[in-house]
């Protein structure tokens, strides 16, 4: 993998999260209230052929956990790690890989965007006021590992 691809992947997957938090966190701290919910991927734990993607998503997870420490107790920071979700990006994955993922998945289906949104709504709500620094996998039971 060349340096340009590595940097582009990190910029795409990490910089938007970092820049948004940098703009919003000071106001949350001054109000002594805030909820940050970041989105990474189950690939943060490692995924074959995707070292740039997995490393950039691991950076989002590490950023989330670090900010949970730094912004507590006023602001909660959590991270959702979706599995394969039915999106326009999924349409670009070869069909055999999507089917393999579906078969490995305990739910035997791909996730729906609304399922990730529901997790984000929960983590952003006062019902999750005692939850911070957590990584919530919305993956149908699939877990990347060595």
Residue of 33, 44, 53, 130 marked catalytic: 53
What is the SS3 assignment for 38?
strand
Query: What DSSP element (H or E) covers 81?
Result: strand 75-82
**What does the angle CA 87 – CA 92 – CA 95 come to, to the nearest 5 degrees?**
100
Whether the Cβ atoms of residue 60 and residue 14 lie closer than 8 Å to each other: yes
Please confirm, yes or no, whether 53 is among the known catalytic residues. yes
Residue identified by tokens 């074959």 is: 48
Show which residues are catalytic.
53
């Amino acid at each position: 993998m060349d340096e340009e691809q590595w940097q582009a992947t990190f910029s795409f997957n990490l910089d938007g999260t970092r820049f948004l938090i940098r703009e919003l966190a000071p106001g949350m701290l001054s109000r002594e209230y805030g909820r940050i919910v970041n989105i990474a991927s189950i690939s943060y734990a490692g995924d074959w052929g995707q070292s740039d993607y997995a490393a950039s998503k691991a950076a989002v997870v590490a950023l989330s956990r670090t900010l949970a420490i730094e912004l507590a107790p006023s602001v909660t920071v959590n991270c959702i790690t979706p599995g394969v979700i039915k999106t326009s990006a999924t349409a670009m994955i070869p069909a055999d890989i999507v089917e393999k993922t579906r078969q490995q998945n305990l739910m035997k289906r791909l996730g729906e965007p609304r399922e990730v949104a529901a997790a984000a709504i929960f983590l952003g709500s006062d019902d999750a006021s005692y939850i911070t620094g957590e990584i919530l996998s919305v993956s149908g039971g699939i877990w990347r590992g060595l």
